Amino acid sequence: MASNPFSAAAVAGAITQPPTGRDYLVDRSFRSLALVGAVLIIALMAYILYEIGGQAWPAISKYHIDFLTTSAWNVQDGVFGILPVIWGTLYSSLLALLIGGFFGLTVAIFLSQDFLPPRLAFVFRTIIEMLAAIPSVVFGLWGIFVVIPAIRPVANWLHESFGWIPFFSTSLSGPGLAPATIVLAIMILPTVAAISQDALNLVPYRTKEAAYGMGATRWEAILKVMVPTAAGGIFSAMVLGFGRALGETMALAMLIGNSNTISLSLFSPAKTLASLLASNFPEAGPIEVEALMYAALVLLLITLIVNIAGIGILQVTQRRISGKS
Amino acid sequence: MTATQTIGSAASPKGAAAPSPAADVAIDCRVEKIFYGNFLAVRDSHVPVQKGKITGFIGPSGCGKSTVLRSLNRMNDMITGFKLEGHVHFMGQDLYASYVDPVVVRRYIGMVFQQPNPFSMSIYDNVAFGLRLNRFKGNLDDKVEHALRRAALWDEVKDKLKASGLSLSGGQQQRLCIARAVATEPTVLLMDEPCSALDPIATRRVEQLMLELKDDYTIALVTHNMQQATRVADITAFFGVDISQGGRTGYLVEMGETKQIFEEPREQLTKQYIRGEFS
Amino acid sequence: MSEARALQSSLLTVGAWVVAILASIPLFSVLYMLVFKGGARLAPALFLELPPAGFETGGGFGNAIVGTLVMLLIAAAVCIPIGVLSAIYLAELNPDGKVAKWSRFLAKVLTGFPSILAGVFIYAALVLAMGTYSAIAGGIALAVGMLATVVLTAEEAMKTVPRKMKDAALGMGCTRTQMIIKVVLPTGLPGILTGVILGIARAAGESAPLLFTALFSNYWLSSLREPTASLSILIFNFSSMPFENQIELAWAASLVLVMMVLVFNLLSRLIGRPKI
């Protein structure tokens, strides 16, 4: 029991008591436990890097940097390269960002700039939130049975009429970049919309008022004042949306066709790092697992860099807008 | 200084004991300097808080009166960079001695804050909070009723003790906070502008309450309202702001019987403040 | 205002409407398919029977529902204590310290972490060590995925507990643990629960982390240390099969899964305030 420096007041019947020894013990252990929790997050991240890096090490020392620049994936000969996979990852994510980013930003403007009566805004907001809640596999299933049949005639018409344009240089036989990209765009739309909306809402009301005061129309105010002011936040929304697209797995594994090709054509099948892992890992032997671990490490590093960039930009711009140095 | 000091072993408290202040002083506060980081917030303030009396702290904003009050139960320890030079003696102990745990200090010296701050729990649980915290073994219901009566709130809430403390009006909430503070029968009650968020009628009720409470408690009261000081304080401490060093440093200008401070202030600054020449 | 500018403004408004409506179409299309394709097969047998093999008719996915729920339970049991404890540290104990800054930052990074990598990580860290795919590995992989959501929302929730309430508790002579347990946690509980349930909702729909941690099983769950079925992996497996029966079951499983996710989402909304 801890000593009470005010024992003079501890007369019989006094209510006030110092904390008991148990109180202090609980206090100290609880706070240490909370510290352990916080440290665990840091340790987890470090452990993930260590574990995936360690598993990838044999492959790294075997294939070196050539792994990133060659195209063969041949388990029998033990030859592995992921150039087409990196291409497929970046190409599909960029295309998805182009579409999802445009839609997401427009929706963010639409929902945050008083276009709608509150009730209708609530309905649209709920729709976007529900979109975010649909599991990736369900989007994949929907892509197989709805998106592919729907775009196939259009895609093949485009190929027949404009086949000389590199983007339409192949026909869509089933799974391929186009359906994968469309579904990917839908999946990153809520992320882009939510973060952009936060950024737009952060712009002080007086800034908007000033624009209207100068006689700007609503859209002039939005495009020339609101969006530029929120540009940092919107940019980070795009970066984080891109990061999400890079790592998206199931829908892509189901829709992209998993083919080791590099093509500009939107209708050609392709492969991404995540879809490679999803489709090859379960049946891989030890040699291939090493190579897949290397691929996982590449995916980990790419997404880490993209996410850290996105979060960094977000923090800097938020600080600038809220006026703190 | 952090608030995480643990209580020391049974190191003899005698060594650091006060140079025995007058017996009628509950808290003998001798602040030499209070810093927030590098900023000197208060200097040279010797404020003995008399037993069984209400001591009012007045002065212009930024004069450090709240800072001094909050250093009496070590609430300032929560602010990073806080440092106190000097001594605060309570029951023969220096509150800032290394073996004193601020948590214990706050159990003996209760506090009522500027904004009414009941917990989001029932009225009953709000009042019983401190009793349970101190592992009170007796009849909880009696003590809760007693404290609510003491805070002149019993008649208004006796039929809805299960209702949330936050459902009460601002004035009732503040009296609930007073009930919560007195329930554990602390020795001293610190009140930091307790009426600043209340309307005039609620203010009068709380002032009335303070006068009733001073029979059992020593009260230190910070107020921005000079009329309030004249109405309730027995003794008044007037703090001023010194801007000569570039910063805004508070210090004790003079202290005495409330009547003397308001009718025959010794210092020119006090006179000007009371006349309303600055605030 | 010139007429051209007014015209431009209204055209853009029309454009925004078109975009917003286009953006809503996928959701309605998905829901339509779920209700009509999945709803057509909805029957008690789905919940009671095992997945059919190749040419078999009938069957269900009772084991997958059990597997998903069990793994969610494991994920919650692992994630909630760690998540809430670290949120307490971040929000209350030392919010500006080095540890807090790093773990807050890494938690944010972790929100954008591809869930398949959680699977790869647990495969390397746990499946190889245990020598088997298991519900435990699957549950922990899901926990890695939901940890960041829980930490960050719980931290926000605790930060919304007013400073003055925390001061009141300290002023009464609470230790900081007593302040947190008696005041901060009960007051911030709705927000914390929102985060936890949102995390569970997200984990419920996840499949990538389960692919090579829990794998799949055609049988009822009999041990936590063996391959375990889940709704999402069932959908993935069946979607690529050439049999009408399996495709129908995939749709029905999707309907059940989406209902589960939406119920969790609704719950989190009812408990806390809506976000976005």
In a domain, A295, yes or no: yes
The chain B residue lying nearest C165, using CA atoms, is B117
Task: Kindly list the distances between the CA atom of residue C95 and the CA atoms of A34, A278, B41, C219, in Å, as whole numbers in the listed order.
Answer: 12, 38, 24, 48
Residue A324: predicted pLDDT: 46
State what percent of residues in chain C have pLDDT above 70. 98
In a domain, C161, yes or no: yes
Interface touch B110/C183, C-beta < 8 Å: no
Interface touch A2/B92, C-beta < 8 Å: no
Residues 225 through 244 of chain A touching chain C, CB cutoff 8 Å = 240, 243-244
In a domain, B36, yes or no: yes
> For residue A37, which residues of chain C lie inside 8 Å, CB to CB?
81-89
Any CB–CB contact under 8 A between A134 and chain C?
Answer: yes
CB B126 within 8 A of CB B165: yes
| Of A128, A243, A277, Cβ closest to residue C116 | A277
Element (H, E) at B14: none
Residue B197: predicted pLDDT: 86
Distance CA C22, CA A106 (A): 11
Residue B257: predicted pLDDT: 94
Interface touch B133/C186, C-beta < 8 Å: no
The neighbouring-strand residues paired with B275 are none
In a domain, C185, yes or no: yes
| Of A2, A3, A9, Cβ closest to residue B108 | A9
Tell me which chains share at least 3 CB pairs under 8 Å with chain C.
A, B
Q: Whole domain around residue B32: which residue ranges? A: 23-119+187-274
Residue A24: predicted pLDDT: 94
CB B180 within 8 A of CB C173: no
CB A220 within 8 A of CB A134: no
Encode burial over A34-63: b for 16+ CB neighbours within 10 A, e otherwise: bbebbebbbebbeebeebbbebbebbbeeb
In a domain, A135, yes or no: yes
Q: Which amino acid is at A157?
A: W
Look at strands B54-58 and B218-222 and give their pairing.
parallel
**Number of compact structural domains in chain C:** 1
Interface test with B, best of A3, A27, A31 (most B CBs within 10 A): A3
Distance CA C256, CA C262 (A): 10
Encode burial over A147-157: b for 16+ CB neighbours within 10 A, e otherwise: bbeebbeebbe
Residue A8: predicted pLDDT: 63
The chain A residue lying nearest C175, using CA atoms, is A27
Interface touch C172/B3, C-beta < 8 Å: no
Residue C273: predicted pLDDT: 58
In a domain, A265, yes or no: yes
Q: What is the mean pLDDT of each run of 10 residues along chain C (276 residues)?
A: 83 92 95 94 92 87 96 97 96 94 94 93 94 96 95 94 94 95 94 92 94 94 94 94 93 96 90 54
In a domain, C9, yes or no: no
Any CB–CB contact under 8 A between C269 and chain B?
Answer: no
Distance CA C250, CA A240 (A): 31
In a domain, B71, yes or no: yes
- pLDDT (tens digit per residue) in A56-112: 999 999 999 999 999 999 988 889 999 999 999 999 999 999 999 999 999 999 999
Distance CA C173, CA C171 (A): 5
Question: Mean of the per-residue pLDDT values for chain A?
Answer: 91
| A261 alpha-carbon distance from chain centroid | 24
Distance CA B216, CA B218 (A): 7
Neighbours of C174 (CB within 10 A): 25
In a domain, B16, yes or no: no
* pLDDT band at residue A172 under the 50/70/90 scheme: confident
| C125 alpha-carbon distance from chain centroid | 22
- pLDDT (tens digit per residue) in A140-156: 999 999 999 999 999 99
Interface touch C170/B117, C-beta < 8 Å: no
Q: With 80 as the cut, is the pLDDT of residue A322 above it?
A: no
- Residue A150's closest CA among C25, C34, C24, C37? C25
> For residue A20, which residues of chain B lie inside 8 Å, CB to CB?
135
Interface touch B6/A19, C-beta < 8 Å: no
Distance CA B152, CA B97 (A): 37
CB B221 within 8 A of CB B258: no
> For residue C192, which residues of chain B lie inside 8 Å, CB to CB?
none
Query: pLDDT under 50 in chain B at which residues?
Result: 1-20
In a domain, C57, yes or no: no
Residue with tokens 């909630």: C80
| Of C96, C165, C173, Cβ closest to residue B119 | C165
Encode burial over C194-225: b for 16+ CB neighbours within 10 A, e otherwise: bbbbbbbbbbbbbbbbbbbbbbbbeeebeeee
In a domain, B263, yes or no: yes
CATH number of the structural domain spanning residue A163? 1.10.3720.10
CB A247 within 8 A of CB C116: yes
Q: Which amino acid is at A129?
A: E
Interface touch A310/C261, C-beta < 8 Å: no
Distance from CA of C185 to the nearest CA of B (A): 11
Interface touch C99/A39, C-beta < 8 Å: yes
CATH number of the structural domain spanning residue C148? 1.10.3720.10
Residues 34 through 73 of chain C touching chain B, CB cutoff 8 Å = none
**What is the layout of strands, in order, in the sheet containing B235-242?**
B93-94, B82-90, B25-36, B39-50, B249-257, B235-242, B54-58, B218-222, B188-192, B109-112
Q: Whole domain around residue C114: which residue ranges? A: 62-271
In a domain, C103, yes or no: yes
In a domain, B1, yes or no: no
DSSP A29-86: HHHHHHHHHHHHHHHHHHHHHHHHHHHHHHHHHHHTTHHHH---EETTTTEE--HHHH
The neighbouring-strand residues paired with A125 are none
**Number of compact structural domains in chain A:** 1
In a domain, B149, yes or no: no
* pLDDT band at residue A323 under the 50/70/90 scheme: low
Any CB–CB contact under 8 A between C168 and chain B?
Answer: yes
pTM listed for this prediction: 0.89
C199: tokens are 């995390």
Distance CA A34, CA C155 (A): 12
CB B112 within 8 A of CB B181: yes
In a domain, A315, yes or no: yes
CATH number of the structural domain spanning residue B202? 3.40.50.300
Any CB–CB contact under 8 A between A144 and chain C?
Answer: yes
Any CB–CB contact under 8 A between A257 and chain C?
Answer: no
**Number of compact structural domains in chain B:** 1
Residue C55: predicted pLDDT: 82
Distance CA B193, CA B187 (A): 19
Distance from CA of C80 to the nearest CA of B (A): 24
Residue B4: predicted pLDDT: 39
Distance from CA of C96 to the nearest CA of B (A): 10
Residue B21: predicted pLDDT: 52
In a domain, C149, yes or no: yes
Distance from CA of B131 to the nearest CA of A (A): 7
Q: Hey, is B197 helix, strand or coil? A: coil
Interface touch A15/B143, C-beta < 8 Å: yes
What is the ipTM for the molecules in this complex?
0.93
Q: Whole domain around residue A275: which residue ranges? A: 82-321
Residue C276: predicted pLDDT: 33
Distance CA C100, CA C77 (A): 23
Residue B7: predicted pLDDT: 37
Any CB–CB contact under 8 A between A120 and chain C?
Answer: no
CB C206 within 8 A of CB C142: yes
Residue B3: predicted pLDDT: 39
